């Protein structure tokens, strides 16, 4: 609710006609209004229209707590945060310094707010407004203690003479303090078992017990969880009683199509390709970067239970663009066009994002695994272009003893000079990305050469950032 002059007392609030709702009812009402109005429900979420989002929709309508189950980098946290948009713009609460929570003015649950409402007139009960964004809190499970999210006895209050059995002696954790909001826990299986037990009453009865002292008030909160299937389904990681109390499980997944992965990669990378040294990225370079993630998710060298995050593509894309922009700044080329040789710098952004399968890697190190994944990605994308354009004539010229040198800091103009001897054959390569720009044509040349090498048609020698291709 947003008004020009917001009610500042309980009497004004009642006169305004504002009605009290549970947080799940509030989310339901706003969701249904947007759904029936044909609005975009989850802007920025790509590739889930027919799978994940329908599951979330049903969970919201059913007013369930939710668990988002999927491997890393599938947007679980982003989906949880997206639910904030279904909260009201702001809601009123009783505004006194002693109040530990944002109490509903019509239905206060803390003793101090109940006593205030019972002892003074409604004109003397001050009201403030809690904005939507402040009504969401998120916590990473590892290292989280009972006191962090549920609460603890406050020793300072005990020292001041407050009875241990009194509500005033308690320091509330994040969940009680998110009363009338949304609380999310990432990596649920890593949550200490004692804390999991403490969530029982909150999920089922919505009350709190701290150190054996029951605080009998109705906590109104939507609770969200995220987890990786490998750990969530492992016996003993999440106690069965807690699993039983979660209303809906939302299964996430990686992009089903490469084009969707590219869309996510570019959206999340948030790179400005304009500026003093603009960058033009050929589509086949985008395809190779995303195909690397696809190949890694199928690789026997990678621990598939851990998964390969979308951040793998995003970081590699940013590094590729950075390498091209560096070349442009040094050589004065505009636009900067990424090439295959720029991918030689991906170690910096890729290493650490892949977890090796110790059984399947056969003593290969992470760099060797990355090289294998990159070669497979280039080969896959190249073969698709070969089917459309045909590259056999180009591979034949190497049988005549032709050598071609490329490199990430080689001026684009030198590529045209080196290919001047065989222009008819190389026109096939330029069909990959029709352009007369020297930098774009240099990128096409490298793509074709790398593709021929990846498909085992020519050989390659690499030294100090320069690569020489020739017949095997």
The answer as to whether 2 is a domain residue is: no
Q: CB of 182 within 8 A of CB of 137?
A: yes
Together in a domain, 219 and 368: no
Residue 126 belongs to some domain of the structure? yes
CATH number at residue 59: 3.40.50.300
CB 282 within 8 Å of CB 340 = no
Asked if 370 and 458 sit in the same domain, the reply is yes
Q: Are residues 118 and 75 in the same domain?
A: yes
pLDDT value at residue 118: 95
Residue 1's pLDDT is what? 46
Identify whether 4 is part of a domain: no
Last residue of a domain, one of 211, 230, 251: 251
269 and 159 in one domain? no
What pLDDT sits at residue 71? 93
3-state secondary structure the chain: CCCCCCCCEHHHHHHHCCCCCCHHHHHHHHHHHHHHCCCCCCCCCCCCCCCHHHHHHHHHHHCCCEEEECCCCCCHHHHHHHHHHHCCCEEEEECCCCCCCCCCCCCCCCHHHHHHHHHCCHHHCEEEEEEHHHHEEEEECCCCCHHHHCEEECHHHHHCCCCCCCHHHEEECHHHHCCCEEEEEECHHHCCHHHHHHHHHHHHCCCEEECCEEECCCCCEEEEEEECHHHHCCCCCCCHHHHHCCCEEEECCCCCCHHHHHHHHHHHHCCCCCCCCCECCCHHHHHHHHHHHHHHCCCCCECCCCCCCHHHHHHHHHHHHHHHHHHHHHHCCCCECCCHHHHHHCHHHHCCCCCECCCCCCCCCHHHHHHHHHHHHHHHHHHHHHHHHCCHHHHHHHHHCCCEEEECCCCHHHHHHHCCCCHHHHHHHHCCCCCCCHHHHHHHHHHHHHHHHHCCCEEEEEECCEEEEEEC
Evaluate whether residue 5 is within a structural domain: no
107 domain-assigned? yes
Residues 205, 337 within the same domain: no
Does residue 3 sit within a domain? no
In this structure, the answer to whether residues 226 and 354 fall within a common structural domain is no
Same domain, 18 and 78: yes
Report the predicted TM-score, pTM, of the whole model to 2 decimal places. Answer: 0.85
Q: Do both 213 and 328 map to the same domain?
A: no
Say how many C-beta atoms besides its own lie within 10 A of residue 32's C-beta.
Answer: 14
Q: Encode the chain (472 residues) as per-residue pLDDT tens digits.
A: 444 589 999 999 999 999 999 999 999 999 999 999 999 999 999 999 999 999 999 999 999 999 999 999 999 999 999 999 999 999 999 999 989 899 999 999 988 999 999 999 999 999 999 999 999 999 999 989 888 888 777 666 656 655 555 666 677 889 889 999 999 999 999 999 888 887 877 777 666 666 666 566 688 999 999 999 989 988 789 999 899 999 999 999 999 999 999 999 999 999 999 989 999 999 999 999 999 999 999 998 888 888 899 999 999 999 999 999 999 999 998 899 999 989 989 999 998 888 887 665 567 788 889 999 999 999 999 888 876 556 666 666 666 666 677 777 888 887 777 666 544 555 656 566 656 678 888 888 888 888 888 877 777 777 666 777 666 5
Number of domains forming the structure of the chain: 2
Q: Which domain holds residue 295?
A: 258-471
Please give the Cα distance from 429 to 147 (Å, whole number).
64
What is the predicted pLDDT for the residue at 167?
66
- Of 251, 281, 316, the residue that ends a domain is 251
Distance of CA 128 to the CA centre of its chain: 34
Residues 243 and 299 placed together within one structural domain of the fold:
no
Residue with tokens 């003479």: 161
Q: Of 199, 234, 251, which residue sits at a domain end? A: 251
> Are 215 and 265 in the same domain?
no
In-domain check, residue 176: yes
**Same-domain check for residues 126 and 224:** yes
Give domain status of residue 1, yes or no. Answer: no
Whether 214 and 315 map to the same domain: the answer is no
């Amino acid at each position: 609710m947003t008004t020009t002059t917001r009610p500042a007392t309980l009497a004004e609030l009642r006169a305004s006609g504002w009605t009290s709702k549970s947080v799940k009812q509030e989310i339901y009402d706003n969701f249904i209004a947007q759904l029936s109005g044909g609005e975009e429900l989850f802007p920025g979420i790509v590739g889930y229209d027919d799978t994940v989002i329908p599951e979330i929709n049903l969970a919201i309508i059913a007013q369930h707590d939710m668990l988002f189950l999927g491997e890393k980098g599938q947007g679980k946290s982003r989906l949880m945060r997206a639910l904030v948009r279904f909260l009201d713009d702001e809601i009123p609460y009783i505004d006194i310094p002693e109040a530990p929570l944002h109490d509903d003015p019509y239905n206060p649950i803390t003793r101090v707010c109940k006593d205030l409402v019972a002892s003074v007139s409604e004109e003397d009960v001050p009201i403030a407004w809690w904005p939507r964004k402040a009504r969401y809190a998120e916590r990473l499970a590892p290292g989280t203690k009972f006191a962090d999210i549920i609460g603890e006895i406050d020793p300072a209050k005990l020292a001041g003479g407050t009875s241990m059995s009194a509500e005033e002696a308690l320091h509330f954790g994040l969940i009680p303090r998110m009363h009338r909001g949304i609380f999310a826990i990432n990596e649920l299986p890593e949550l200490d078992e004692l804390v999991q037990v403490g969530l029982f009453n909150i999920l089922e009865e919505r009350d709190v017990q701290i150190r054996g002292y029951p605080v009998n008030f109705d906590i109104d909160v939507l609770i969200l969880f995220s987890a990786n299937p490998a750990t969530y389904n492992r016996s003993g990681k999440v106690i069965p009683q807690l699993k039983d109390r979660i209303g809906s499980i939302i299964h996430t997944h990686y992009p089903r199509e490469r084009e969707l992965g590219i869309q996510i990669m570019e959206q999340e990378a948030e790179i400005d390709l304009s500026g003093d040294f603009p960058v033009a990225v050929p589509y086949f370079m985008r395809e190779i970067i995303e195909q690397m993630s696809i190949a890694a998710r199928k690789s026997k060298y990678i621990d598939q239970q851990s998964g390969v995050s979308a951040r793998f593509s995003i970081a590699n894309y940013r590094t590729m663009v950075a390498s091209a922009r560096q070349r442009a700044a040094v050589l004065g080329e505009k636009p900067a066009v990424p090439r295959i040789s720029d991918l030689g710098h991906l170690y910096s952004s890729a290493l650490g994002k892949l977890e090796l399968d110790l059984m399947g890697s056969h003593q290969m190190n992470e760099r060797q695994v990355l090289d294998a994944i990159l070669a497979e990605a280039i080969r896959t994308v190249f073969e698709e272009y070969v089917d459309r354009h045909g590259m056999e004539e180009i591979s034949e010229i190497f049988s005549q003893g032709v050598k071609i040198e490329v490199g990430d800091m080689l001026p684009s103009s030198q590529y045209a000079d080196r290919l001047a001897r065989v222009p008819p054959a190389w026109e096939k390569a330029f069909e990959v990305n029709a352009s007369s720009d020297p930098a774009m044509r240099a990128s096409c040349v490298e793509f074709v050469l790398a593709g021929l090498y990846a498909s085992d048609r020519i050989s390659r020698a690499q030294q100090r950032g320069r690569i020489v291709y020739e017949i095997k």
